A and B are shown apart, each in its own frame.
Chain A
Amino acid sequence: MSSARTPAKPGGGRRPWLKPAVFTGALAPLGLILWQASRGALGANPVAEALNRLGLTALVFLVASLACTPLRETLGWTWPIALRRMLGLFAFFYACLHFGTYAVLDQGLRGAAILADVTKRKFIFVGFAAFVLLIPLAATSTAAAVRRLGFVRWKRLHRLVYLIGILGVTHFWLRVKKDVREPAIYASVLAVLLLARIVVAARERARRRAAAALPVAGA
């Protein structure tokens, strides 16, 4: 998983347009929802429509952020790594909007109803857990936080994202009434991404063991 290769330069290096472009595109789902809401074009149940789309957008960003490292390991692409933090923060941004829509518009800020939902309903508990676990990751997303924690501890903390990905997909799966095709697609993509990490880690361990064995053999 860890590689000695350094990520792309903060300025964007050879692709100065990449980060601003992804940032701009990342705001499109929110822009569309706001535009449609203002025109009454979100359908008969606009709160549910906005809620579902914001949640799904958060999940897409979460999966995309988990795809960056496997893309480097398998295809040798380094540019996704430069986007990884932004993708993760957008996942958090949309998760905030999703939870905010649920708490404010859907539940009307009725604390008792929200508490009952979170504690009694498996699918809401799972989604809420994913949201809460994203908070420490977003809070430690800066370079200063990495320095403060130390890279090893920072990295250990950010491995939480694997669990968050699983919780996010589970939340989506449990919500669906009967047709699980779409959550199944996200589950498969997530499974491939996690599997790729396991394979890479296993290979790395084998390489390290071989490297450690070499001097002994030569002695």
Chain B
Amino acid sequence: MKSPAPPSSEITPEALYADRRRFLKSSLLFAATAAGVGAGLIGLTGGARLRGRADKTADGALAKVRPGPFGTSEPPTPLKDITSYNNFYEFGTEKDDPARLAGSLVTRPWTVAIEGEVHRPQTVDIDALLGWFPPQERVYRMRCVEAWSMVIPWDGFPLGDLIRRAEPTSNARYVAFTTLLDPRQMPGQRREVLEWPYVEGLRLDEALHPLTLLATGLYGRALPNQDGAPLRLVVPWKYGFKGIKSIVRIALTRDQPPTSWNIAAPQEYGFYANVNPAVDHPRWSQAMERRIGEVARRPTLPFNGYAEQVAGLYSGMDLGRNF
């Protein structure tokens, strides 16, 4: 049976009825303020930053990659992480900036000048270079000076092969590397965060070591722009910042060349930058590292686990002073 009147519990209280307009207004103001405060906080603290999802890979796959030496059985870091978590200040100082912004880098045509203390100086086209030295796969650990690490299946060729081809003179003792300087393609270069172009260097014996690689790809595909396309240095026993990206010049020199992070903060970043758990960065410990994909930190190994291969290069040197 239907009752003619609604039960008293359903009758809107008179006070509330009278206040309805004010209540609605307050509700709206509440919602707008809460949303504004929330959005403002998220915006200020970087929560709204777009995660780099774009995968800017140069056109064309690499030639067949053959397996190379020095591999590790550790599981490789997913491609998504290797291509979205980058320090490449030419495209911005946030980790996801390079993935978002490196699309503006044009990697073809591209030439690399090989010069300085060599008998055969020349400027070589990147594709000719790839023809000379077919890529091989090198699965290396990569330890960033910021205490995180990855395992990266690089494709590339030993730097030593290129240096020997250029025939160093007897004066050559160091190798100097230079990144492209072009603020139109590299928006990060429009601000003086570092001195541009980025420069790096190795001692000649380090450069000739069979571990030292010039990478042209990863995971069997052309190197993504954010990882240093079309040609980057990989020195797996040194901190990642030694791995100069998008190289346009390789010069053999008599004297130790300047290096970008050493210029920026000499007390924090040395020329050698060998991975060393016993020598802390002045602002943080280098004893442990976080492997990307893991939460708990793991101990950092001397020379990033390549001591057996490279420790001999530094026998008799004070690695605390030559950090």
A residues adjacent to B (C-beta < 8 A): 15-18, 20-22, 24-29, 32-33, 41, 43-45, 47-48, 52-53, 56-57, 60, 105-108, 113, 116-117, 120-124, 174-175, 177-179
Contacts and interface: CB of A to CB of B under 8 A. Distances in A.
A25 B42 CA distance: 10
A52 B47 CA distance: 10
B133 to A, nearest CB: 30
B193 interface: yes
17 contacts: A21-B29, A21-B34, A22-B37, A24-B30, A25-B33, A25-B37, A27-B38, A28-B38, A28-B39, A41-B51, A45-B292, A60-B44, A108-B297, A113-B288, A121-B285, A175-B283, A178-B89
Given A21-B34, A25-B36, A57 B285 contact: no
Contacts of B288: 113
Interface in B17-40: 26-27, 29-40
Contacts of A56: 44-46
Contacts of B39: 25, 28
Given A60-B44, A106-B290, A121-B283, 15 more contacts: A18-B29, A21-B30, A21-B37, A22-B34, A25-B34, A25-B41, A41-B51, A45-B85, A45-B95, A53-B46, A120-B285, A175-B283, A178-B193, A178-B265, A179-B193
B41 A122 contact: no
Nearest to B146: A177
Contacts of B284: 117, 121, 124
Nearest to A23: B34
Contact of B42 (A29, A44, A117): A29
A99 to B, nearest CB: 16
A17 B85 contact: no
Nearest to B287: A113
B37 A28 contact: yes
B264 interface: yes
Interface string B152-195: 00000000000000000000000000000000000000000110
Contacts of B36: 25
A32 B47 contact: yes
Nearest to B288: A113
Given A33-B47, A122-B283, A178-B264, A17 B41 contact: no
Contact of A178 (B31, B194, B280, B297): B194
A175 B41 CA distance: 21
B38 A60 contact: no
A20 B30 contact: yes
A3 B98 CA distance: 51
Contacts of A17: 26-27, 29-30, 33
Contact of B95 (A16, A33, A44, A113): A44
A43 B38 CA distance: 21
B262 to A, nearest CB: 13
Contacts of B33: 17-18, 21-22, 25
A102 to B, nearest CB: 12
